[in-house]
Structure 1
Amino acid sequence: MAYPDDLLSSGEHVVTHKHPHWKMLFFPVFWLLVVVVLGSYLAGLVGDLSWATIAWGVLAVVSLALVVGLTVVPLARWRTTHLVITTDRVIYREGVVKRTGLDIPLTRVHSVRFEQSFADRMLGCGTLIIESASDAPIPIDDVPSVEKVHTLLYREMNDNPEDDFQQRTVDGRA
Structure 2
Amino acid sequence: MALSDKMLMTGEHNIQTTRTHVKALVLPFLLLLVIAFAGAFGAAQAGDTGDGYVRWAIVAVAVVLLVWFVIIPFLRWYLWTYTLTNRRIVEQKGVLTRTGRIIPLNRINDVSYEKNLNDRLLRSGTLVFHNAADEEGLKLDDIPRVEQFHRAISDLVFEVQNTHDD
TM bracket (short chain): over 0.9
User: What is the correspondence of 1:10-159 to structure 2 with a 5 Å cutoff?
Assistant: 10-47=10-47, 50-51=49-50, 53-135=52-134, 136-159=136-159
Structure 1 stretches of 4+ moved >6 Å: none
Distance 1:51 1:5, change over 3 A: same
Deviation sequence 1:79-111 (CA, Å, 0-9, x none): 111111110011111121343211111110011
Shift of 1:164: 2.8
Structure 1 unpaired stretches of 5+: 169-174
Paired residue total? 165
Alignment TM-score, normalising by the size of structure 2: 0.92
Counterpart Cα distance in 2 of 1:2 and 1:145: 17
Counterpart Cα distance in 1 of 2:164 and 2:117: 42
Aligned-partner residue type, residue 36 of structure 1: A
Distance 1:110 1:52, change over 3 A: farther
Counterpart Cα distance in 2 of 1:124 and 1:153: 18
SS of equivalent residue, structure 2 residue 2: coil
Shift of 1:57: 1.6
Contact 1:46–1:52 at 8 Å: present in 2 too? no
Q: Percent identity?
A: 30
Structure ID, larger Rg: 1
Shift of 1:52: 5.3
Counterpart Cα distance in 2 of 1:109 and 1:102: 14
Structure 2 unpaired stretches of 5+: none
Question: What is the CA RMSD across the aligned residues, in angstroms?
Answer: 1.5
Contact 2:2–2:16 at 8 Å: present in 1 too? no
Contact 1:104–1:132 at 8 Å: present in 2 too? no
SS of equivalent residue, structure 1 residue 127: strand
Alignment TM-score, normalising by the size of structure 1: 0.88
